[in-house]
Amino acid sequence: MSRRLVIIPTYNEIENIERILRNVFSQRASFDVLVVDDNSPDQTAEKVKELQAEFSTQLFLEIRTQKSGLGTAYIHGFKWALARDYAYIFEMDADFSHNPNDLIRLYSACVKQEAAVAIGSRYLTGVNVVNWPMNRVLMSYFASKYVKLITRMNIQDTTAGFVCYQREVLEAINLDNIQFIGYAFQIEMKFKAYLRNFKIVEVPVIFTNRTKGESKLSGNIISEAVFGVIKMKIKSLFGKEI
Ligand SMILES: Nc1nc2c(ncn2[C@@H]2O[C@H](COP(=O)(O)OP(=O)(O)O[C@H]3O[C@H](CO)[C@@H](O)[C@H](O)[C@@H]3O)[C@@H](O)[C@H]2O)c(=O)[nH]1
């Protein structure tokens, strides 16, 4: 069993979805894709349905009724994957911030380094972010340092959203007990894997700001991360379920 599934959450990604799917399906290794769309008003899901005629055995779609956050979209996707026989489950953005050519590098890192989690890391070798405004680079960079300081995880890019999980990691985490929905979700997943002693490795990648469509980053998502990390750490210190 070594099937690989890439989960792509989408909200208004009509300008990116066809190109990213064609790119993933043209990789030399074979990946299935699950799009988790939140009923995007721009008809992203309609485009996916159209492409399902062409990629019927590899492309899957789940539509939720309304925009409910990136974190819960991934949880939905993880549960979908665990109900099937996928051995490696990836998180990837729809907007080419993450380069699909790196999927195979994340997979190889898991296999060759016997890791349970491989993170596409922007901060392993300096700062590998292209075309982000300086305030966003600084915020993301220092957020990663802040999380590292509080959680003590030896991970440079704790908010990264380009990740390969071995199935056993998702099986070990109670997916009904995930607290956060935005960036904090990414931190929470890594912290949970770390607390369960799974081997986590980082693979350097270049993150390129989207050229089409808009980021869904909001102030709420940032404050969720800032306070959420402290809450999470305190809970773990008191032996509460994390
Ligand atoms: N289904 C669904 N998808 C969503 C939602 N919000 C965002 N998405 C999708 O999630 C992906 C990332 O969303 P962006 O809004 O482009 O994220 P970002 O601000 O660039 O953040 C990226 O970098 C962060 C770290 O700096 C990561 O933490 C984050 O996961 C993501 O990779 C895109 O495919 C977008 O359509 C939502 O509420 N629902």
Residue 157 Cβ inside 6 Å of ligand 1? The answer reads no
Residue 242 lies in a domain: no
Residue 36 has pLDDT above 90, yes or no: yes
Residue 188 lies in a domain: yes
CATH number at 207 reads 3.90.550.10
The larger pLDDT score, comparing residue 241 to residue 161, is at: 161
Q: What is the 238 CA–ligand 1 centroid distance (Å)?
A: 31
Q: What is the 172 CA–ligand 1 centroid distance (Å)?
A: 24
Give the model confidence (pLDDT) of 51-101 as tens digits. 999 999 999 999 999 999 999 999 999 999 999 999 999 999 999 999 999
Q: Probe ligand 1: pick from 6, 11, 181, max atoms within 8 Å of CB? A: 11
Residue 127 lies in a domain: yes
For ligand 1, atom 38, the nearest C-alpha belongs to 69
Range of the domain at 128: 3-237
The helix-helix angle for 17-25 and 44-52 (nearest 10°) equals 30
Residue 77 lies in a domain: yes
Tally of domains in the chain: 1
Residue 78 lies in a domain: yes
